Amino acid sequence: MARNEIRIDDLAHPRLDEAQRAAIEAAGRANLPLREDAVMEAARRQTGLDDFGDDGFRVRLREWLAAADEDRGLNAMGRATVFGTAVRALSNRLRVEDLLRRRPEILDVELPRPIVIAGLPRSGTTHLVNLVSADDRLRSMPYWESLEPVPDPAERPGPDGLDPRLARCRAMHERVDRLLPHLRAMHHMTPEHVHEEIELQELDFCTYGIEWYARVPRWRDFYLSCDARPSYAYLKRVLQVLTWLRGPNRWVLKSPQHLERLPELVETFPDATVVLTHRDPVHVIQSATTMVAYGSRLRRDRIDLADVAEYWTDRIERLLRACVRDRDRVAPDRGVDVLFHEFMADDVATVERIYRVAGLPMTDGARARLDAFMAANPRGRFGRVVYDLRGDFGLDPAELRRRFAFYFERFAVRAEEADD
């Protein structure tokens, strides 16, 4: 095995170190209840606020918590993750609603012609959104801001001038790096890196995000049956708040779950340029299943690799079938299909093609910023994870490709050699 290659050989039976065991034990002492009243009261205490706005989200919150509570495989740290995520989303919602109550003119903020990236996890969306975001004519959202979009009015920058939200995110990120050191080789993201808006969509509890850290088929089915239009309208509301706090007002956004919500996306942002990234689903599945299984060592008492593979193969199929079904809902002059192998061959040329559709000129200054980002962020600097689809998950790449024939037939996706 090459020096920079990483083979995780304990996915099914993790060898936990002392720090990992201590973190799980500490979570067990908290004994956090997954109940609507408990998480809402915790958010009220954390913010000193009590107006959550329209309460339509509460039926989704209840289903979200009930589905996680039914996941008997979650250990104390897994349950603490669910509880903490709910409290964070509710606290953010309280601060959004408080600011809107005090400054109603925020709802007049215009969000013209956003560039919205939608694609499978592990299909280049993170790299693409960070590359485009190097162009400072566009508004983007770093990870730390997605976690706490509205600052606490009572807080002030520290002696070093650092935003307390960024300081908290850095501390959390360093802890995750210590507990899950191989994660950054699979999905490198610093607090300052541009992130997706799934955390913003959590404020209205209409996302697939919880599926990454809990086994919640009940939630998946409920979420997919929901009318997501009100939640996309709420996302727009939060983006108006963020734009009022800090411009410019032309956004670059991205989220994999937009693939299964294209009608709602284009209804909410009718002048958006929608960029759809496409990659061999076999590579997406081997990366996603390994990442979920690796993170589960902190959140689950027992890891069933076959179950992880079954769930995420099905989940990715659902995303892609929705994309194939609804791709034509995006107007021909508003959509851009990006094939992974073409994007990897020439990153900046791909951005130029997106800009042509978006009506955004590629200036010398913009090109220089894109080139600088590429130079500062080489691929693979934290090593390359070696996957074993067949050995770890019992999946055959050829059989998987046959299952996804409908996708290969619709888009000119190139099959990639799998680490099998």
pLDDT digits (tens, 9 = 90+) for 189-239: 889 999 999 999 999 999 999 999 999 999 999 999 999 999 999 999 999
The identity of residue 268, as a single letter, is T
**Which residue range is the domain that position 120 belongs to?**
5-410
Inside any domain, residue 250: yes
Q: How far is CA 39 from CA 23, 33, 68, in A?
A: 21, 8, 13
Asked if residue 135 lies in contact with residue 269, where contact means CB atoms within 8 angstroms, the answer is no
CATH number at residue 119: 3.40.50.300
Inside any domain, residue 318: yes
| Distance separating alpha carbons of residues 226 and 243, to the nearest angstrom | 28
Q: How far is CA 70 from CA 65, 73, 295, in A?
A: 9, 9, 20
In 3D, which of 322, 126, 308, 117 has the Cα closest to residue 212? 308
Inside any domain, residue 349: yes
At residue 353's C-alpha, the angle toward residues 347 and 355, to 5°, is: 105
Inside any domain, residue 418: no
Inside any domain, residue 241: yes
Inside any domain, residue 419: no
261: CB partners within 8 A, 6+ apart: 228, 232, 322
Q: Kindly indicate the confidence band of residue 420, based on its pLDDT and cuts at 50, 70 and 90.
A: very low
Inside any domain, residue 415: no
Number of structural domains the chain divides into = 1
pLDDT digits (tens, 9 = 90+) for 91-118: 999 999 999 999 999 999 999 999 999 9
For the residues 387-401, what does the mean pLDDT come to?
Answer: 94
Record the tokens describing residue 64, joined without a space. Answer: 């979200």
| Distance separating alpha carbons of residues 332 and 5, to the nearest angstrom | 42
Asked if residue 218 lies in contact with residue 95, where contact means CB atoms within 8 angstroms, the answer is no
| Distance separating alpha carbons of residues 205 and 201, to the nearest angstrom | 7
Q: How far is CA 137 from the centre of its chain?
A: 23
Record the tokens describing residue 135, joined without a space. Answer: 């162009």
| Distance separating alpha carbons of residues 277 and 135, to the nearest angstrom | 20
pLDDT digits (tens, 9 = 90+) for 281-326: 999 999 999 999 999 999 999 999 999 999 999 999 999 999 999 9
Inside any domain, residue 417: no
| Sign of the CA dihedral running 405, 408, 414, 418 | negative
Percent of the chain whose predicted confidence (pLDDT) is above 90: 89
